[in-house]
Structure 1
Amino acid sequence: MGSCLWILMLVVNPVLSFRRPAEPSVCRVVHEDVDCSGLSLRTVPKRLLASIHLLDLSRNLLQNLTDHELPVLSNVHHLNLQANKIQFIQPGLFQDTSRLEVLDLSRNLLDLYAALKTSVGPLKSVRRLDLSGNGLFTDMSDYFLSDAPALTQLSLDGNSITKISRHTFNGSQALTSIDLHNNVIIEIEEGAFESLTGLSELDLSVNSISCITDFNLVRLRTLNLSKNSLTSFQTVDSELEFELLYLDLRENKILYFPVLPQKNKLMYLDLSRNLLRSVNCSGPLEELENLKASGYLFTDDDKPLCLCANQGHQDLPSLLYLDLSHNQLKAIPSSFFSSMASLESLNISNNCLESFSVDSEASLNSLKTLDISYNNLQNLSFGQNTLAALEVLHLQGNALSTLDSGIFLRLPSIRSLHLQQNLFRICPSLKNQTHDCIRLSSISTLSYLYLSENSLESVPPGAFDGSPLLILDLSLNADVGLGPYSLSGLEPTLAHLSLRGNQLRTLTVDFTSFHKLKSLDLSVNRLTGVSLWSGDCSVESLNLQNNSLVTLASDAVLALQKSLRTLYVGSNPLSCCGNPYLLTLLQQDRLSVPDISAVTCWFTRDSESVEISVSALRAEDCESLDGKVLWISVIVALALGLTLVSVVTLKLCHSQTHGFKRGIKA
């Protein structure tokens, strides 16, 4: 019987092991996904599952890919070989992988394989191929793409490709997305992408392309040419409607507005950080010397190679986002925006604009965000019935001092005004409109107002009455006059108030009625006391850093202790033993004091003033001091009492003596 069982086990065990191979002990297996990443493997584990959907062999030390090394590939859908040291692939290795759709070979040494000038063989089912970071030079990618008919997504970023030839993608005609960013591309041969009729995304950013003169990829939807050396971008003259939606031309050397398709669907255009001098597509010929200095290419007869003929403004009816920031624009005519009826975001910051106006010709009624910050604005005007949807306006950094006082009242949807770093004065709420101040009251939609660094001399009573502000920033206005009614009207809405760096010595506002105030910044002032509440308060975050506070009054602490969650109080000359309420507050677990390491206090020890960290203060430090004060007080009281008794006694005796003498004489 025993011998029969032994024979049966010899027969059954091989069958079971054949039907269910042992899972690799070093790899992690979840269902049909096998993760062997980061194990310093030099060879592929031999005993893998027969059916694998995803095989991750990334971040190992594999050098050669052969059918001996990778015996189980017939059922793999996703093969990740990223970050190995692969320098050889057996030709035809993937020809029987009918289910392989994703192949990641990035960050290897495939330039060594490409130097053999041997095709890797058919990649018949691969849809996504990543060859990035392999040191591939021009034409080396051809050995991987020559027979990849199903390929739709290709990444070649981070290589050393200098030229894209017209033959590069001949074997990969199904491509819809190509990533070529971070190479050294100087030249793109005519016809390199035209045969790819399904191509919709092309990333050529971070290369050395100097000029696009005949852009004709009608079906392309996304084109990234940022961080090149472009001096011009011109579309071929065509009546066809281009599908381009996203065009990124930032960080180039473009002087004039690009020539875009006459019929377009463009929604996003980024021209920031160029050398734009005009929103026209060309400039006067007398600028030739400037063009040469800017790196333009010229023909043998000294004509600019990439300048267009002078044309009018181009229609951009679908444009939602336009970024012209960080250029050299001195003026933009209002008519430039006349065709941009859909524009929602316009950024013209960091230019040289001296004036900006929006009139009825370019109403920009869809615009939600307008950034004209950091220019040299002297004039700003918004016509009636323009900018109906504008919600956010950036005007900071213009040193503006005069505006039509009611300019912001003509913005019916404005929510956020950024007016920092100007020279505005604030009109009293009932004052007639003038040009020497701006009216900030009765703007019923305004929620966020930033007025820091405006050299404000005063904030008149009711300056913001009727404007339901949630955030008000009045910081860095040295010696600003802030009266008890300067913030009146904001009691129902104000949640965050900054008065940082105003050199305030006193503050007479009673914040008790500001029931929604959650954050109050009073740092970098000269406050000696904080008595801002006559009752309960709602403040959760209070910043008192860098003031002249010796004590924090008991009424202030009692008002704060229920709601306060975060307190900054460092860099103040606090008294150690004169702040029992404050010290008790600092010890509460629910209170966060982020600058506790900078919170110090002073007390007298042996006739010397000593500064110590509040966290190091011991109870006996103040108890001993209190004891000394008590004994001194008792001694002084006794001395005063004895002196008083002596004086009274002497007076009584003196009176009796004089009475006795007067009696005898009588």
Structure 2
Amino acid sequence: MHVRMESITALAMLLLCAIGGSSSCSPPPCMKCDIGQSGQPENFVCQQICPNSLPPSVKTLVLMNGKCPPMESMMMSRYISRMVKLESLTINRYNIQKFWGAVFASNTQLTHLTLMLNNFNTFGATTFQGLTKLEELNMMRSNIVTLPDNGFSPLSSLKTLNIMANKITDISEAAFAGLSSLETIDMTYNVITTVGSKSFQPLQSVQSIKLPHNQLTAIPTSLFSNLRNLKTLDMTSNKISSVATDAFTGTAIDTLDISQNMLTSVPNFKTCRSAPATLNLQNNKITSVAAGDFGGLTVKTLNLRNNSISHVEDGAFAGSHISELDLGGNQLSSLPESMSGMLASVHTLKLDHHDNWQCVCSQLWLARYLKSRRVSDGPTCVACGVLLLAGTATTCIVYKNKNKNRNKVSPF
């Protein structure tokens, strides 16, 4: 062990001398490549230097905060091409501005590649050539503007792709070609406005797609259709106002989030293999729930909070099974009695606590339901200036309104 530590120290000092004399950049005094946390001489963490003198036996290499001139891939390829045993490579904040040719062609053992906080706006169809074993690729915050057609096609084993916080504006239909093993893709915080209708079709193994905080206005036809392994789909905080009727055909999504968008009506989920178990449509601009919108669907959690819903049509929930239903933050004043069968199986129902609910006999069923569930903070209505909590009465009372000289009824 003592001999091993001396060897490691000698190697570190050798690297310091070799790198310190580099003519391609001028590192500050004493900056060097340090042996990584594992203490193995094949693992290195390099800061503020150019990696031009590392041994070919390196398996893990972390390059951070490079002080070289704008580092083009030709220079980088020269540095790392000798490291044929590399399994994990991280190049963060290294001022990479361009990729030319098959940069990693010699690094065929790579399984993890991180290129964060750089400054390249695109890459080529051959950039990742040879990386057939790569499983994770992270290009977060690297000012990427364009994803080239077939740019990821060599990555047949890739499981995780992170391209969040870039400047990508559109996704072509060949952008993800070849990614048949991909399970997770994160595109959060870009400026994506359009996605080709077949863009995600190569991703037949994908389980999670994240698209929050973009500029999407529509979900085109067949976009997610027949992605049979898709479990999580997040499109919150876009500007989506329309969803094609076959966008989710053949899917069985566990969690679907389309909250904080511009939807004015409920999307079609009847072509799904099974409806989303958790469906979040809150903070949209939905004005009504039409007959059949949720008919026959089995949903664990349905969130319709903070829309502009003023009307729920008869039959909107016919034959549906919902465990948690949130209708708060809307403009409802009544619910159709056809919902009574569905509500019998609801464990949690959230309605607004306001006094604008209609005091009519057609709502007697709701008063009885709320009383049976011991709801003390639910909808109320005002009758003759008296505030009556929902669920405190089970009969419909007809009384005379002396001020307006007409009859009114109160079920509450």
Q: TM-score, normalised by structure 1?
A: 0.47
Give the superposition deviation at 1:408.
1.3
Return closer, same or farther for 1:120/1:344 CA change in 2, 3 Å cut-off.
closer
1:255-334 equivalence runs, <5 A: 255-258=169-172, 259-262=175-178, 264-280=180-196, 314-334=201-221
Give the superposition deviation at 1:176.
1.2
Match of 2:307 among 407, 412, 422: 422
Distance 1:198 1:242 in 2: 14
Distance 2:281 2:34 in 1: 58
Q: Secondary structure at the match of 2:113?
A: strand
Give the superposition deviation at 1:461.
6.6
Q: Secondary structure at the match of 1:180?
A: strand
Return closer, same or farther for 1:210/1:396 CA change in 2, 3 Å cut-off.
same
Give the superposition deviation at 1:160.
4.5
Q: Does 1:341 align with 2:228?
A: yes
Give the superposition deviation at 1:400.
0.9
Q: Does 1:166 align with 2:77?
A: yes
Match of 1:396 among 282, 286, 289: 282
Structure with higher RCO (Cα < 8 A, 6+ apart): 2
Distance 1:194 1:385 in 2: 44
| Partner of residue 6, structure 1 | none
Return closer, same or farther for 1:363/1:373 CA change in 2, 3 Å cut-off.
same
1:464-475 equivalence runs, <5 A: 465-467=341-343, 468-475=345-352
Return closer, same or farther for 1:156/1:474 CA change in 2, 3 Å cut-off.
farther
Checking the alignment, whether the CA contact within 8 Å between 1:475 and 1:502 is kept in structure 2 is no
Q: Does 1:147 align with 2:29?
A: no
Match of 1:232 among 142, 146, 149: 146
Q: Does 1:128 align with 2:14?
A: no
* Unmatched runs of 5 consecutive residues or more in structure 1: 1-50, 52-71, 80-87, 94-109, 282-310, 512-666
Q: Rg bigger for which structure?
A: 1
Match of 1:250 among 160, 164, 170: 164
Q: Does 1:112 align with 2:29?
A: yes
Distance 1:491 1:111 in 2: 75
Give the superposition deviation at 1:460.
6.3
Q: Secondary structure at the match of 1:327?
A: coil
Give the superposition deviation at 1:417.
0.8
1:3-82 equivalence runs, <5 A: 72=2, 74=4
Checking the alignment, whether the CA contact within 8 Å between 2:265 and 2:287 is kept in structure 1 is no
Q: Does 1:486 align with 2:357?
A: no
Q: Does 1:156 align with 2:38?
A: no
CA-to-partner distance for each residue in 1:429-462, whole Å, 9 max, x for gaps?
xx843xxxx44x7533x12222221022245678
| Partner of residue 201, structure 1 | 112
| Partner of residue 329, structure 2 | 453
* Unmatched runs of 5 consecutive residues or more in structure 2: 17-26, 394-412
- Structure richer in helix, relative to its length: 1
Give the superposition deviation at 1:210.
0.9
Q: TM-score, normalised by structure 2?
A: 0.73
Checking the alignment, whether the CA contact within 8 Å between 1:245 and 1:266 is kept in structure 2 is yes
Distance 1:197 1:479 in 2: 67
Give the superposition deviation at 1:393.
1.1
1:421 is matched by which residue type in structure 2? Answer: N
Return closer, same or farther for 1:155/1:502 CA change in 2, 3 Å cut-off.
farther
Q: Secondary structure at the match of 1:156?
A: strand
1:153 is matched by which residue type in structure 2? Answer: T
1:486 is matched by which residue type in structure 2? Answer: L
CA-to-partner distance for each residue in 1:185-224, whole Å, 9 max, x for gaps?
3234534322111111111122222112224333322111
Identity of aligned residues (%): 20
Aligned pairs, how many?
A: 365
Distance 2:375 2:348 in 1: 5
Give the superposition deviation at 1:497.
8.4
2:29 is matched by which residue type in structure 1? Answer: L
| Partner of residue 250, structure 2 | 364
Checking the alignment, whether the CA contact within 8 Å between 2:112 and 2:134 is kept in structure 1 is yes
Checking the alignment, whether the CA contact within 8 Å between 2:248 and 2:269 is kept in structure 1 is no
Q: Secondary structure at the match of 2:256?
A: strand
Checking the alignment, whether the CA contact within 8 Å between 1:231 and 1:253 is kept in structure 2 is yes
Return closer, same or farther for 1:379/1:500 CA change in 2, 3 Å cut-off.
closer
Checking the alignment, whether the CA contact within 8 Å between 1:241 and 1:261 is kept in structure 2 is no
Q: Secondary structure at the match of 2:29?
A: helix
| Partner of residue 568, structure 1 | none
Match of 1:91 among 11, 14, 24: 14
1:418 is matched by which residue type in structure 2? Answer: N
Return closer, same or farther for 1:197/1:241 CA change in 2, 3 Å cut-off.
closer
Checking the alignment, whether the CA contact within 8 Å between 1:463 and 1:487 is kept in structure 2 is no
- Structure richer in strand, relative to its length: 2
